[in-house]
Structure 1
Amino acid sequence: MQRNANTQYPILLVHGLFGFDRIGRFELFHDVKQALRNAGARVFVPHLSATHSNEVRGEQLLTQIQRVLKGTGASKVNLIGHSQGALAARYAAAVAPQSVASVTSVSGPNHGSELADFLCKALIPGSLPEQIAEMVASLFADFLSLLSGNHRLPQDAVAALNALTTEGVRAFNEKYPQGLPKTWGGKGRELVNGVRYYSWSGVLQRNILDEGLNALNPLHAFLRAFSHYFINEPEQNDGMVGRYSSHLGTVIKSDYPLDHLRVISQPSGLPTKNIDPVNLYMQHAERLKNAGL
């Protein structure tokens, strides 16, 4: 049966930290973008600084939103942000709600990332035992070496890391609280200032065998290693973001069996057990369409 994702407003897929065109040989958002376009949606992928603060990336997003509005003749856009991209989307909606129909957070660190907290400590001499600090820093550096992205935009890795810590996001949330739950693990208001807020995310499976062939993916191995540094949500995270930290607006589901990167793609040859991440975006586009968005 032909799917219909012809939303009233264009969809912008907003990348997160270390925004890259590809993950290994896979183009970022490729499967999602193509599926949505094949179902009739107008889809754009704005490029933001790979590393910078939420506000700087949010301003860059605002500029590109205006370009999309001018080019399409639409009055608003639907923003779907992955990881830090969710914070950029939230900023844009808070600053210019008249231009944003909806914000959807996909594995967004809406209350900060415990991994970012740990990395910050690892970078401060004496904050952690030297051996642990070196191990964490080395692990993260190796992970980043697998991610590629060359954008001619300003970069600030320190600002990006600070913006993703629990403390950094807390300060961000004080200025831009739209859609945030009032209780930990709860849901937030779906409609704020004319903008609808949604979220979904995944968690690592306790048994690695439940990951299917994705267990053989080196990126998944890194994420599983990162998950050991979570204290508040030790078994409820996707390798980078805790399950309940991801909640925003209407929480569609926050424990899909997907890690932090699998939630944005479904590369051929590496099927994920029981879930097709691309279908989540298709379902959501239909959800937006049915809501008149």
Structure 2
Amino acid sequence: MELVPAPQPPLTPTRYPVVLLHGFGALANVLQGGVLHREAMYLRARGIHAYAPHANPYDTVAVRSATWAEHLERAMEETGADKLNLIGFSSGGLDARWLAREMGWADRIASVVTVSTPHRGTALAQFVLDRPERLRSWAVAFMDFVGRAAYELEPPDSFGALRELTPETVADLFPPEETIPGAWCASIVGRAGKGTDVSITPSLALTNRILYAAQGVNDGIVPTDGAWWGERLETLDADHARQIGIGLSIGSSFDSRAFFLSICERLRERGL
């Protein structure tokens, strides 16, 4: 077998380290190392100082952001960087905005790129909260149980987290026109299932239909039109699970690792 002259991938570092912030839900304990760990390792293999830490997947923005802040401090200490690039997946994008505005991180953030972040909320949160009390209590208790199992350092608050993700509350906490002064702010949205020609992971089919009835085309968790913020970059033909490398949508060839690398390539082109 002939040897490839240069088998290692090219080193293509960004100016500032990249921190991937995961979103709401139990996906953080589905994959070894957690959600976005594989993507971070893929970026590191290309010379990018990438981190994919964890916060409680079922907690409020303020609590999660306090955890993120500790991880961001560590990333800056390890790399000696004076700024960071944040890529927020799903509600992780809201956490990034909270860090900048409420926790004094704005001057240490070079960029925030959000991926399928519910910048205008998701009707799914309201749907769960509107269920009869017995069903709602069961759902919240289950999420709290998973949250305690997934992340022992902070107690979960699933009810508070759901309430924050409703369209009405998100509109109050995160005005859609509000960006971060001095930072590049941009967004990427996703679409799949009903109203599109993109297949969807079967486990997201029901939520996809519920959300379509309330807010139109979506990725199974977040409405497509409600995920735009800052500069509009692209629309992904991938559901919420496929965007982070899981899911079983038939015919999908979406590569989450290549996708997150493409975001870093955008950052590098901008000198970030």
TM-score (norm 1): 0.77
Give the C-alpha shift of residue 70 in structure 1: 1.7
Instruction: Say whether 1:276 aligns with 2:255.
Output: yes
Contact 2:202 2:249 in 1 (8 A): no
Structure-2 separation of matches of 1:25 and 1:271 = 23
- Alignment-derived partner of residue 35 in structure 1: 42
1:75 to 82, 93, 107: 82
- Alignment-derived partner of residue 233 in structure 1: 215
1:223 to 196, 204, 211: 204
- Alignment-derived partner of residue 3 in structure 2: none
Give the C-alpha shift of residue 76 in structure 1: 0.7
Amino acid at match of 2:184: R
Aligned in 2, Cα 1:110/1:289: closer, same or farther, shift over 3 Å?
Answer: same
Amino acid at match of 1:119: V
Give the C-alpha shift of residue 111 in structure 1: 0.6
- Alignment-derived partner of residue 246 in structure 1: 227
Instruction: Say whether 1:199 aligns with 2:187.
Output: yes
Contact 1:20 1:150 in 2 (8 A): no
Structure-1 separation of matches of 2:249 and 2:194 = 19
Please provide the CA RMSD for this pair.
Answer: 3.3
- Alignment-derived partner of residue 290 in structure 1: 269
Unaligned runs of 5+ in 1: 126-132, 180-191
Contact 1:16 1:82 in 2 (8 A): yes
- Alignment-derived partner of residue 159 in structure 1: 160
Aligned in 2, Cα 1:177/1:56: closer, same or farther, shift over 3 Å?
Answer: farther
Aligned in 2, Cα 1:28/1:43: closer, same or farther, shift over 3 Å?
Answer: same
Contact 2:193 2:205 in 1 (8 A): no
Say which SS state the counterpart of residue 122 (structure 1) adopts. coil
Aligned in 2, Cα 1:158/1:210: closer, same or farther, shift over 3 Å?
Answer: closer
Structure-1 separation of matches of 2:234 and 2:38 = 21
Contact 2:177 2:230 in 1 (8 A): no
Amino acid at match of 2:254: I
Contact 1:7 1:41 in 2 (8 A): yes
TM-score (norm 2): 0.83
Structure-2 separation of matches of 1:253 and 1:208 = 16
Unaligned runs of 5+ in 2: 1-5
2:116 to 107, 121, 135: 107
Q: Residue by residue, what CA displacement relative to the aligned partner does 1:68-109 show, whole Å, maximum 9, x if unpaired?
A: 212211001111111111110111122321111111111111
Give the C-alpha shift of residue 28 in structure 1: 1.6
- Alignment-derived partner of residue 184 in structure 1: none
Aligned in 2, Cα 1:56/1:141: closer, same or farther, shift over 3 Å?
Answer: closer
Aligned in 2, Cα 1:19/1:195: closer, same or farther, shift over 3 Å?
Answer: farther
Give the C-alpha shift of residue 273 in structure 1: 2.7
Structure-2 separation of matches of 1:249 and 1:209 = 27
- Alignment-derived partner of residue 56 in structure 1: 63
Q: Percent identity?
A: 26
Select the structure with the greater relative contact order (CA < 8 A; seq sep ≥ 6).
1
Q: Residue by residue, what CA displacement relative to the aligned partner does 1:247-280 show, whole Å, maximum 9, x if unpaired?
A: 11112113x221111101168x988535323222
Give the C-alpha shift of residue 285 in structure 1: 0.3
Amino acid at match of 2:222: V
